[in-house]
Amino acid sequence: MGKPKSHIMGAMIEANNISRSNITCNNFNHSNMYKRSYGFSLPITPSDSYTSNVQPIGSKNCKLETFSWATVPRGWDVFRLLPPPPDNLNRGFWYDVSLQVLKITCFCVLFILTLLSAIISKATFLLMTSAIGTIKMNLTICNDKIPESPINQVEILPMHVVKWIWAVYISLCIPELQCFIGSIHRAFFRNVKKPTFAQFIIVFVVETLNAIGVSILAFKILPNLDAITGAMLTNFACFVPSILLLLSRRPNRLAILLMAIDTLCIIVQIIALWTIPNLNASLQKFKFILPFCLILISLGWWQNFVHIESALAPIRALARFAVTLNERRSKTYVLISIWKCIVYLLMVFLVLTNNLTSKDLFENDPFGEKLQTIIARNLNQTQINKFYERMKIEIAKNGQLMQ
């Protein structure tokens, strides 16, 4: 046979599959093929990035070979990472038991840490509020400073109490500042809804009343109580949640039992609000303001105790309204959190006006060291003379040390 008059070469390239057909005969000249196929791209040769497959087709003298290449996926060029295959090994009984023990241990450790942190935070807060109540009081201390007198007293001036007032104020504002940072982050970097005017006003009123109640309790009531009574009062700030929880019960088998428990809780709250001031002499002057204060504090948790499946239609409507408020919480509390800090500061001036002035609050370095005057009482002339002699000796010693 002579040379073929024409040579046909086709190249078809797809996404990951490249195939080329090459016709060869006995007297075929490859150089002539490349010369006559001017304008076509050079044939694609297999490389290490592809896998090839050769399929010969044709007769003995003239055959058609089809080459196909498929891309081999590389480890660094994988679109997604699939999870490893499941481990079908049988771990055994003791392995499962150890996992359960570890889980229970973690629960116990977290519970103990949470309980201890709550106790420490409440004890620290009560310590600060108790220190506020000592303003303009004469406190008896140990007589190690003036041993000649059986009674040593110090007078607590406003400059000694200002640091505790600011400490309580800062402790109240820290949660609000954390809420502000989280809310403004979500408002800027997430697609959150904007509250309506009515929704904002309702949240504004409720949170303002809650801040007023907290301020009265922290700056007015707790400073005049001992720590044990103050800790007991903090357990009775659930009047509104207990009522809402009773009204939000869904009809089920345990509904009657749960409603009885809720009713008992409401009775306990009422007894605490109205009878404890009559039983404790230190609470007599807060007989009317204490229930009002605790009810205002309990308003802050109303959204957590309304259920959308309640048997009462008003409670269901209130629950749906709470859901809409929760969707708009971020942009709402950007302003509300700052406003509550302002309310706390205003209540400091309103509540503590009888004991200190604004000049005392804004003095320089309120957390610095302050001098205190120690008063020695019930001294006779002999004790006074001994005191003078001891002072002369100490002054002489200090003079020698200075030299």
Report how far residue 233's alpha carbon sits from residue 272's, in angstroms, rounded to the nearest whole number: 8
Name the DSSP class of 352: S
Name the DSSP class of 234: G
Q: Where are the domains of the chain?
A: 159-362
Name the DSSP class of 150: S
Are the beta carbons of 289 and 252 closer than 8 angstroms? Answer: no
Comparing C-alpha atoms, which of 304, 193, 326, 180 is closest to residue 248?
Answer: 304
pTM flag (> 0.75):
no
> Over its length of 403 residues, how does the chain's per-residue pLDDT go in tens digits?
444 433 333 333 333 343 343 433 344 344 444 334 444 444 444 444 444 444 555 544 554 555 555 556 566 665 666 777 766 666 778 888 999 999 999 999 999 999 999 999 999 999 999 888 887 777 777 877 788 888 888 888 878 888 899 999 999 999 999 999 999 999 888 888 888 999 899 999 999 999 999 999 999 889 888 888 888 888 888 888 889 888 888 888 888 888 899 899 889 888 877 787 777 777 788 888 888 898 999 998 888 888 888 888 888 898 899 888 888 888 999 999 999 999 999 999 888 777 777 777 887 777 878 777 888 888 888 888 888 888 888 888 877 766 6
Angle between helices 329-351 and 158-189 (to 10 degrees): 170
Are the beta carbons of 64 and 58 closer than 8 angstroms? Answer: yes
Comparing C-alpha atoms, which of 344, 117, 352, 130 is closest to residue 231?
Answer: 130
Comparing C-alpha atoms, which of 90, 73, 91 is closest to residue 82?
Answer: 73
Report how far residue 178's alpha carbon sits from residue 335's, in angstroms, rounded to the nearest whole number: 13
Sheet containing 50-58: order of strands: 10-13, 17-24, 63-71, 50-58
The owner of tokens 């000796």 is 393
Are the beta carbons of 231 and 122 closer than 8 angstroms? Answer: yes
Cα dihedral 313, 315, 320, 324 in deg (nearest 10):
150
Sheet containing 374-377: order of strands: 138-141, 151-155, 374-377
